[in-house]
Amino acid sequence: MGTSSEGDRPWQSYNTVYTNAKAGMDGVDKEKVQRIVYEMSKGSKYFENEKRKEAFIKLKIESLRAQVDKLTDKDVSHFQMIANKKILELEASRDLSKVWLHTDMDAFYAAVETLENPSLRGKPMAVGGLSMISTANYEARKFGVRAAMPGFIACKLCPDLIFVPTNFEKYTFYSELARKVFRRYDPDFISTSLDEAYLNITEVCINREISSDEVACELRNAIFEETGLTCSTGVAPNLMLAKVCSDINKPNGQFILPNDRKAIMTFISSLPIRKIGGIGKVTENVLRDVLGIQTCEDILQNGAFLCALFSSCSSDFFLSVGLGLGRTDTPDIKMRKSISSERTFRATSDENFLFQKLADIAETLSNDMKEKCLSGRTLTLKLKTASFEVRTRAISLQKCIHSKEDILSCASRILKAELPLSLRLIGLRMSQFSDDKNSHVDPMQKSIVAFLSGGDANSSPTLPKKQVCLEVGDKLEDHDGLDFSEGQSKQDVELDFRVADDHTGDKNDDRFSLLCDSHCSVSRSIAENFKMNDSYLDESKPNKSVEPDELTYSVERLIEEVGLIWVDDYICSVCGIELPPNFIEERREHSDYHLAEMLQKEESSRGRAHLAQERFVRKVGHNREGTRKKQKCPPNEVKHIPIEAFFTKYKKNS
């Protein structure tokens, strides 16, 4: 930016993934593609957001450069010693005894569509729509059209482009046909997607006394005969290299890298780092602009700087890439860690529309979870604003949930705290699954009594091992075993009234689950919760009188005693302080303060209430310094860019 050449060609500074060479795109006029992508994008909110992200990366690069400049000769020789030691250790772990084959179906979705509709053959075609393309055939790739490109840009690059909608049933069917072939060569093959797999063919080569080249050829022929589709394969001593190799002779080709260190080092030396799985656009730019690293050989030559600038895990990963090392064993079966559903729509701030979308997504997620017998404890709401800024807000519950009603109830509360906002995407993700998929109750969940007594929920034989629900107006003493133990202060209860899960999924249950959800990050003030969930309040129930001296609680009493509501959703009815709805923590602390104040009046012991007040005062002071926790990030604030984010996982490979 800023140079005359860039002024003439502003698109050159707009880096997108679309100019990265993909199979079948070798002859593409990259500058033309870059210019058209730039011209179609510029001025849009997406473009502005990309620019913002680019600016962050530039700052990161500048910061790393400054760190390099500060290194003395002594520092460099120190880090060189560390790098040398690591290289020796990594080299000692090199395993050349395995033969891995990576197979990748050629333009899979597009090939399936062409197989079923031969009239598409020879014509530029893309699977997807005007908003986004899933994949493009090789005829379209000649124009620069590729996966992950918006369809309207693809249309500009290739006006005759034919669009075919995605049909996952078809792709799954053909994928299964291919997998039948894979199983014959490796029953434990690793499937990474519908069209890709890793096969350990070591045994096949030994038992049948044939070369890996012959196995690859045989496998490709078998796949073609049984599916009518072509694939490309790569053979190498580890998974990382096999994946790189399968891309070399695409489409319908294969590349064999011998299990020989010298051959590997020769192969890797000129390999662009971007070809390595785990090195994407950002890492490529950072390594190139900070250290001038472009090939894997460059990595080894910059070992000292990599050790100086990056975490141990990251530098280990980089060095292992430079040595051509990768995983050589079949990983253990991985359990799913999360399940999610998200929808993009035209940006809007219409709250009715947004809550309806949220309900639709909650239903989809709930259905998916039921289908897979999953029940989760952590719900994450993902929002993409009209300006493409992505926000996530998570809530961890005391028990696992899966029903639409429970999901929607939690999600609505988080969303409400974020509004008003113009959004273009809403997503919900559930994680922290219960081990026992048939149980929808978290065994770790403590009953309120166990919580109050500081004991384990399961340790008391007299306590019901189920969630205790209170009706509005109930006193805790009305329930078996629900009394406060001696010395137990009421403030020990961080009350978070939630919609009860009665395990039947009934809507509009007028009871509240009185759970001690102290870990709930978005637990709200009592008043707020009541306000937000007022549809669950049953006003027909008569209030129950409460003796002031009794150490008992009723839900209504808390509200009455504290008397705190947020007038106009903004002003504290007790003291008049103004706190916006999205100041969740502050509001919670604020209601804590008033609660403590109330308790202070009625309890003979003042200690804990005083502590709560102190806590509030400290917190307010803290917040006034502008260190509010991750609620909003100023646009001009330098954000952390976790360049190393991807690398630790490779550590175990080496």
Partner DNA sequence: GGGGGAAGGACCA
Partner DNA sequence: TTCCTGGTCCTTCCCCC
Residues known to be catalytic: 196
Instruction: Select the residue interacting with DNA from 35, 48, 55, 57 (CB under 7 A).
Output: 57
Q: 497 φ, ψ to 5°?
A: -85, 125
Least CB distance from residue 631 to DNA, whole Å?
8
Which amino acid does the sequence have at 392? T
393 interacts with DNA by CB under 7 A:
yes
Least CB distance from residue 262 to DNA, whole Å?
26
638 interacts with DNA by CB under 7 A:
no
Q: How many CB atoms lie within 10 A of CB 374?
A: 19
- Cα–Cα distances (Å) from 648 to 66, 307, 405, 642, 652, in that order, read 24, 14, 38, 12, 8
Stretch that binds DNA, among 50-58, 205-213, 263-271, 563-571 (CB under 7 A): 50-58
519 interacts with DNA by CB under 7 A:
yes
How is the beta sheet containing 133-136 ordered, strand by strand?
133-136, 125-128, 162-164
230 interacts with DNA by CB under 7 A:
no
611 interacts with DNA by CB under 7 A:
no
640 interacts with DNA by CB under 7 A:
yes
Distance of CA 589 to the CA centre of its chain: 30
338 interacts with DNA by CB under 7 A:
yes
627 interacts with DNA by CB under 7 A:
yes
Cβ neighbours for 389, distance < 8 A, ≥ 6 positions apart:
49
Instruction: Select the residue interacting with DNA from 63, 252, 349, 392 (CB under 7 A).
Output: 392
Instruction: Select the residue interacting with DNA from 12, 330, 348, 378 (CB under 7 A).
Output: 378
356 interacts with DNA by CB under 7 A:
no
DSSP state of 441: S
Instruction: Select the residue interacting with DNA from 106, 196, 556, 561 (CB under 7 A).
Output: 196
243 interacts with DNA by CB under 7 A:
yes
Phi-psi region of 24 (alpha: psi -120 to 50; beta: other; left: phi over 0): left
- Cα–Cα distances (Å) from 170 to 114, 134, 251, 588, in that order, read 12, 14, 21, 51
Tell me the number of residues near DNA by CB under 7 A. Answer: 82
Instruction: Select the residue interacting with DNA from 87, 210, 248, 394 (CB under 7 A).
Output: 394
Question: Taking CB under 7 A as the criterion, which residues in 447-466 touch DNA?
Answer: none
Least CB distance from residue 306 to DNA, whole Å?
14
Question: How far, in Å, CA of 555 to CA of 536, rounded?
Answer: 13
336 interacts with DNA by CB under 7 A:
yes
Question: Taking CB under 7 A as the criterion, which residues in 308-327 touch DNA?
Answer: 311, 313-314
Which of 505, 433, 500 shows the shortest CA–CA distance to 468?
500
Least CB distance from residue 554 to DNA, whole Å?
26
DSSP state of 440: -
Which SS3 state, helix, strand or coil, does residue 589 take? Answer: helix
Dihedral, CA of residue 275, residue 280, residue 286 and residue 291, to nearest 10: -20
Least CB distance from residue 521 to DNA, whole Å?
4
Least CB distance from residue 560 to DNA, whole Å?
27
**Cβ-contact 421, 532 below 8 angstroms:** no
Least CB distance from residue 637 to DNA, whole Å?
10
Cβ neighbours for 535, distance < 8 A, ≥ 6 positions apart:
508
185 interacts with DNA by CB under 7 A:
no
Long-range own/partner contacts, residues 245-250 (CB < 8 A, 24 or more apart): 245/102, 246/102, 246/103, 246/104, 247/23, 247/104, 247/275, 250/23, 250/24, 250/104, 250/106
Question: Taking CB under 7 A as the criterion, which residues in 94-153 touch DNA?
Answer: 130-132, 134, 148-150, 152-153
**Cβ-contact 567, 590 below 8 angstroms:** no
Question: Taking CB under 7 A as the criterion, which residues in 18-47 touch DNA?
Answer: 37, 40-41, 44-47
Question: Taking CB under 7 A as the criterion, which residues in 143-162 touch DNA?
Answer: 148-150, 152-153
Nearer to DNA, 372 or 507 (CB): 372
206 interacts with DNA by CB under 7 A:
no
Cβ neighbours for 563, distance < 8 A, ≥ 6 positions apart:
573, 574, 594
In order, the DSSP letters of 494-557 are -EEEEE---SS--TT--EEEEEE-TT-TT---HHHHHHHTGGG--TTSPPPP--TTS---BHHH
363 interacts with DNA by CB under 7 A:
no
Stretch that binds DNA, among 111-119, 223-231, 337-345, 502-510 (CB under 7 A): 337-345
Nearer to DNA, 531 or 628 (CB): 628
Question: How far, in Å, CA of 192 to CA of 180, rounded?
Answer: 15
Instruction: Select the residue interacting with DNA from 192, 266, 422, 543 (CB under 7 A).
Output: 192
481 interacts with DNA by CB under 7 A:
no
Nearer to DNA, 316 or 501 (CB): 316
Least CB distance from residue 546 to DNA, whole Å?
29
Least CB distance from residue 283 to DNA, whole Å?
3
Question: Taking CB under 7 A as the criterion, which residues in 251-280 touch DNA?
Answer: 276-280
Instruction: Select the residue interacting with DNA from 126, 140, 194, 264 (CB under 7 A).
Output: 194
Question: How far, in Å, CA of 446 to CA of 330, rounded?
Answer: 39
Instruction: Select the residue interacting with DNA from 19, 34, 302, 341 (CB under 7 A).
Output: 341
**Cβ-contact 566, 591 below 8 angstroms:** no
